[in-house]
Amino acid sequence: MTDPRILPLEGVENFRDYGGYAVRGGRVASGQLFRAAHQARATPADLEAMAALKLATLVDLRRPRERDNDPSLRHEGFAAQVIQCDLGDQAEAPHVAFLRETDLTPQSARAFFLDYYDKAPFEPRHLELFGRYFAALVAGEGPVLIHCTAGKDRTGLLAALTHHILGVHADDAREDYLLTNVAARVEQRLPMITEALEKSLGKRPSATAVRAFLGVDASYLDAAFASIASRSGSVEAYLDQIGADVAAREAIRARLIV
C-alpha cells in the first residue's frame, strides 16, 4: 500500500508531503510542506499536479552546475518565489566527485554519507539556503516545496530541522526521513541506475552498492544532528545561527500547527 504522504508523480521522484504529523497542541498542517527530487523530467501531468498545490515558495538546494544539468520544468503560470544559491559557482557536487573518484561499494557509500552529513549542516551555501527557507516559513505566504537532486540528503536534513522546530516526535521525523527508501522507488529504478553508472564509471557496481547509494539510513541523519550538537551546542543554537531564532520558531509553529 502506498503511503498517503507520497504524491505518485510520473517523472518526479520522492515527491511527498512532510506535514501532517501529530505534535503538542495539534498537528502539522498538511498541504503546506512538500519535498521532492528535481523536476527536470516532470511530465505534463506532473506539472498539472504541481500547479494544483498552489506553491508560494520553491527552495532549490542544488548547486549551479546541478541546476544547469537538470533544469527544472515549470507549469504555465508558475509564480512561486524561487530560493536558490550560487555560492560555490560551478563546483562539482560531492556525490558526483565520490562516484568519479571512489569504487562504489556498500561500505564506501556508507562512509561517504556519514562524512557528508557530518559536514552538510555547516556548508556555507546550506547556511544561507536554510536561513532563507525558514524566513519564508515565517512569512507564511503559502505552500512550500524544498528539493535537491534526489530529494533525500539536503532535502532530508532540512525537513528534519523543520520537524524539530514544529515538535514532531523524533520517531516520526525519522520515519519521514526513511520514507525516501519507498518514495524514491529505489527498487524499481535499480536496473536503470546500475546501467547508467556502468556507462559513466566503466564498470558495473553491485546492486547492493547502488541500493546503498540511492537510499538513506537513519545513522546518516543522526550524524548530522551529532555534528550540530558538537559544533553549535544544540539544534536551537544552530537555528539561531542561521536566523531561525526563538521568535521565528514561534512564528513557524503558529503558522503550521493546526
**Cα(first)–Cα(last) distance of the chain, in Å?**
27
d(CA 70, CA 163): 28
Q: Which residue has the cell 527557507?
A: 133
Close Cβ partners of 186 (under 8 Å, ≥ 6 residues apart): 211, 214, 215
Beta bridge partners of 144: 33, 57
Q: Which residue has the cell 541500493?
A: 211
**What grid cell was written down for 216?**
538513506
Q: Which of 55, 148, 214, 252 is catalytic?
A: 148
**What grid cell was written down for 255?**
503558522
Q: What is the phi/psi pair of residue 91, to 5°?
A: -60, 145
**What grid cell was written down for 97?**
566527485
Number of Cβ within a 10 Å radius of residue 112: 20
Residue 85 annotated to the active site? no
Number of Cβ within a 10 Å radius of residue 111: 13
Number of Cβ within a 10 Å radius of residue 212: 22
d(CA 29, CA 166): 10
Q: What is the dihedral of CA 119, 187, 163, 46, to 10 degrees?
A: 110
d(CA 158, CA 134): 10
Question: Which are the catalytic amino acids?
Answer: 148
